[in-house]
Amino acid sequence: MDKVKKSGNNARKIKLKTLPHAKDLKWPMLWWIGMEKIYRMLPWKKTAWTCAAFPIELMWIYDIFPDHPENMATVAAARKQSQRLIEHAESMGFSRDLCSYCKTNVGAYDTKIKKTLGGISKPDIVVCTNAICDTHWKWFQIMADKMNVPFFMFDIPKSVSGTDEKTLEGNIDYVVNQFYDLMTFIEKHTGKKMNEKRLYKVLDRSMELSNLWREIFEHRKSVPSPYSGAETSAAFFPLVVLPGVQIGINFFKNILADIKNLTAKGEGTMPKGQEKYRVMWEGIPFWYRMRFMYDLAQYGAVIAFEPYTYSFAPMKKKCLTMEETLRDVAKLIMDTPYAYNLERRIENFEKWIDEYKLDGVILHENMSCRPSSAGMVDLAEAIRRDKGIPVLILQCDMNDPRAYSEEQIKTRVEGFIELMEANKKR
């Protein structure tokens, strides 16, 4: 422990290198904020609230601005506003045990906080899925009712462990039929119609964006890692709300060029020779405490892979017919890495551990995201057994700083680093 602490102390000066184009993230962000202003100004333009795993491309196809309560909740957390918004929602009756994204959003809407602090305005429609969790639809329905706005929900069947191909086909049929229901819903409430030409154009761009992100991830397999979870957690923003538009593609191209440049020189995000431990981070980051990921560098640890941001880059491709395209998209919605069933999760985690040459895994057991936290004990056990590397389960919360205990987390992280060190020596 002393040795680790000593190396930790020596490492206090270690800083992650930021990619030259990282600061360009402001352009897609400003574009998105500017677009919202335009969409709200022009009466024929429409806006929607959407959630993670919802095919955002559909909104761009229909020329509907996709606002994103979860994204705005992370902004509120990063701007140190989430706690007061959560407490405001709790004062309205929402239990302390409920999702902190939801409560941040409820608080933000009710207090009419500024957009730059995580505020959000009333949309024309609310659309969501239950692909990730029940919370999404409960929360969105409550807010749609509150705002008196039409509500649509995609009911995504669950691909539990062992789901066979035949069952999967039935599940896909159900989702595809709901695409047509969504088209009817949008036409009824916004007057907008599906344009097949635009569908393919948007999907092409979405595919290009996802492709670039996946290529970035390919380069993250390099040792040392050129790009850490500390940076991807912000940089993946275009995948959240901009799949299908050009601006995010330009940003990712520049990021990829920076990464290629680094890897060609054999350099990584950490100063030369400092990368000791390559770690996977599973779950949503602590948005109110993003420094956590940077602080890992003090121990020589880098987040070399995280399924969370990877989940946002499914390859939604154009197929021969619209029906086939929708089937393909339906399949992808049901197969998002963030919502993998336990068997798929173990299989993929073990694959990623090999591919990214990982020394340890941190599982964020998120009190605000029970679906993602279920099965973590089995996941940890399987990784330890099959891959022989340490796994740390950190119980905390993504948006509620009250769950974060600095010293307790530090102690546990230091123990984890020790284990990785001992494991390397074996």
**Closer to other proteins at the Cβ: 181 or 196?**
181
Binding map of other proteins across residues 316-355, x = CB under 8 A, - = no contact: -------------------------xxx------------
**Closer to other proteins at the Cβ: 180 or 265?**
180
Residues forming beta bridges with residue 365, ordered by sequence position:
395
Binder to other proteins among 9, 161, 246, 405 (CB under 8 A)? 161
Supply the minimum distance, in Å, between the C-beta of residue 385 and other proteins.
Answer: 13
| Binding segment toward other proteins, per CB under 8 A, in 142-150, 201-209, 219-227, 317-325 | 142-150
Chain residues 356-375 in contact with other proteins, contact rule CB under 8 A: 365, 367, 370-371, 373-375
- Give start and end residues of each alpha helix (H) in 265-355: 291-295, 307-311, 322-334, 342-355
183 interacts with other proteins by CB under 8 A:
no
50 interacts with other proteins by CB under 8 A:
no
133 interacts with other proteins by CB under 8 A:
yes
Dihedral angle sign, alpha carbons of residues 216, 218, 219, 220: positive
178 interacts with other proteins by CB under 8 A:
yes
Supply the minimum distance, in Å, between the C-beta of residue 170 and other proteins.
Answer: 5
Strand, helix or coil for residue 392: strand
**Closer to other proteins at the Cβ: 319 or 342?**
342
Residue listed under structure tokens 């995504």: 156
Binder to other proteins among 25, 77, 98, 256 (CB under 8 A)? 98
**What amino acid occupies position 84?**
R
Supply the minimum distance, in Å, between the C-beta of residue 175 and other proteins.
Answer: 9
φ and ψ of 365, to 5 deg: -85, 95
Contact 227, 309 (CB under 8 A): no
22 interacts with other proteins by CB under 8 A:
no
Contact 76, 58 (CB under 8 A): no
Binder to other proteins among 2, 23, 41, 97 (CB under 8 A)? 97
Q: In what order do the strands lie in the sheet with 46-49?
A: 64-67, 46-49, 125-129, 151-154
d(CA 229, CA 251): 17
**Closer to other proteins at the Cβ: 27 or 174?**
174
Question: 422, 294, 359, 409: which is closest to 4 by C-alpha?
Answer: 422
**Closer to other proteins at the Cβ: 157 or 300?**
157
d(CA 127, CA 339): 19
Residues 6+ apart with CB under 8 A from 140: 49, 51, 69, 126, 127, 128, 151, 153
* Contacting positions for other proteins (CB under 8 A): 92-95, 97-99, 102, 130, 133-135, 137-139, 141-142, 145-146, 153, 155, 157-158, 160-163, 167, 170-171, 173-174, 177-178, 180-181, 341-343, 365, 367, 370-371, 373-375, 377-378, 395
